[in-house]
Amino acid sequence: MSDQIEAAGALVTAGLAANALDRPAGDGGQSGACANCGTALSGPFCSKCGQRAHLHRSIGDVFHEFLHGITHFDGKAWTTLPMLLFRPGRLIRSYIDGHRARYVAPVPLFLMVIFLMFFVLSFVSINDTVGTVDQGSGKAAVASDQAGIAKALADIDAGIIEAKAKGDTAKLAELEAGRRLVTAVGVPGANVSVTDKIADEIEASARSGKLKVNTGVKALDAKGSEALKNPRLVLYKLQTKAYKLSFLLVPMSLPWLWLVFLWKRGVGVYDHAIFALYSISFMSLLFIAGSLALTANIVTEAFWVPLLLAPSLHMFASLRGAYGLGVFSASWRTLYLSIGAAFTLSLYFLILIVAGVFD
């Protein structure tokens, strides 16, 4: 529960930060002098510093700003998100060309979506039954599973009693970890927290000796082995560092974009940064959709096939519209950038593992 509370707090913080980045301070008003710089006002905004003329000073306005920062993005989200989903190339090109007032800027959007992704991830669970079966065979399978699970738990409990009697602490720890794993996945059709399931499997593998840390450096091996004794803490660290270090995905993506457009005139690193920010935001939205589908136990091909094809199709459409490419040019660059994205994510996860496990 503490993970979810912290995730909710991070989401609120991201919303307020993104809102602050994407709008001027203050609200309304058209006369008098600017409270920030003293310039005479001739409209709702100061012509010198950009601050709004009218400033809210009631507690109700504080709560309004709070909710506004999380949910509205000045109303630009309702223009930006459909464009990001269905016309990404035009969105990127328009923003680069200076048509920015109507859209959420890429940095605030990136911040909000990344924090929303980790907020959703903290609640994700998976169903321990996969696919669909008819009602009769389904009931039989559930009954069979329950009987097998009950026997497994009875055997583990007997082993725990024996290990306690012998004072075998290593065996006792292994059996207790195994019992938690069986209990976590032991109710057919029930949703199980992804992090809990992964943690129990890691702990069971580490106790049995199947999972070991062998970096060749004794100090790192010792730290890694110690971390495996408490995988829940490690996963918590990884989640925390993942959204704190998510900004690294942008500079890590830029070399791939720069290289593939090295000979194309009129294209700069700024263009690539806007492309990367909007593209990563879209991929994060896909991850959110997939996570929610897993939690809802949606396993139909009609949902997952389009979801898995969406990254490549979106990148193709983004390249064509943002850089004015033809079908062939956009196609081979899509393949190239897909490979580059796989390398980038692998390096990113490696950094997270090193930062989380060996910290």
Highest mean predicted confidence (pLDDT) among 9-18, 80-89, 183-192, 196-205: 80-89
Highest mean predicted confidence (pLDDT) among 85-99, 113-127, 159-173: 85-99
Helix and strand tally (H, E) in the chain? 14, 2
In angstroms, rounded to a whole number, what is the distance separating the alpha carbons of residues 13 and 39? 32
Query: What residue type is assigned to position 238 of the chain?
Result: L
**What is the per-residue pLDDT for 168?**
78
**What is the per-residue pLDDT for 201?**
72
In angstroms, rounded to a whole number, what is the distance separating the alpha carbons of residues 97 and 266? 12
For residue 211, how many C-alpha atoms fall within 13 Å in the half-sphere facing its CB? 17
In angstroms, rounded to a whole number, what is the distance separating the alpha carbons of residues 23 and 18? 9
Chain CA centroid to CA 320, Å: 26
3-state secondary structure of 303: helix
Q: Give residue for tokens 């809990």.
A: 196
**What is the per-residue pLDDT for 173?**
73
**What is the per-residue pLDDT for 245?**
84
In angstroms, rounded to a whole number, what is the distance separating the alpha carbons of residues 102 and 121? 30
pLDDT at 130 > cutoff 50: no
3-state secondary structure of 126: strand
Tokens for 305?
């096939």
**What is the per-residue pLDDT for 139?**
47
In angstroms, rounded to a whole number, what is the distance separating the alpha carbons of residues 75 and 64? 14
Long-range CB contact pairs, 255-261, < 8 A, 24+ = 256/336, 256/337, 256/340, 256/341, 256/344, 257/337, 260/333, 260/336, 260/337, 261/323
- Please provide the size of the chain in residues: 359
**Sequence spans of domains, the chain:** 1-74, 76-128+217-359, 133-216
In angstroms, rounded to a whole number, what is the distance separating the alpha carbons of residues 244 and 231? 20
**What is the per-residue pLDDT for 350?**
86
For residue 246, how many C-alpha atoms fall within 13 Å in the half-sphere facing its CB? 22
CB 281 within 8 A of CB 113: yes
Reported as a single tens digit per residue, the pLDDT across 226-282 is 777 777 777 777 777 887 788 889 999 999 999 999 888 888 899 999 999 999 999
Which DSSP state fits 247?
G
Q: Give residue for tokens 């696919």.
A: 131
Mean pLDDT, rounded, of the chain: 76
Q: Give residue for tokens 């090295």.
A: 262
CB 49 within 8 A of CB 34: yes
In angstroms, rounded to a whole number, what is the distance separating the alpha carbons of residues 331 and 8? 39
Residues 6+ apart with CB under 8 A from 93: 321, 322, 324
β strands within the chain, DSSP E:
125-127, 191-193
Percent of the residues in the chain that have a pLDDT greater than 70, as a whole number: 68
pLDDT at 213 > cutoff 80: no
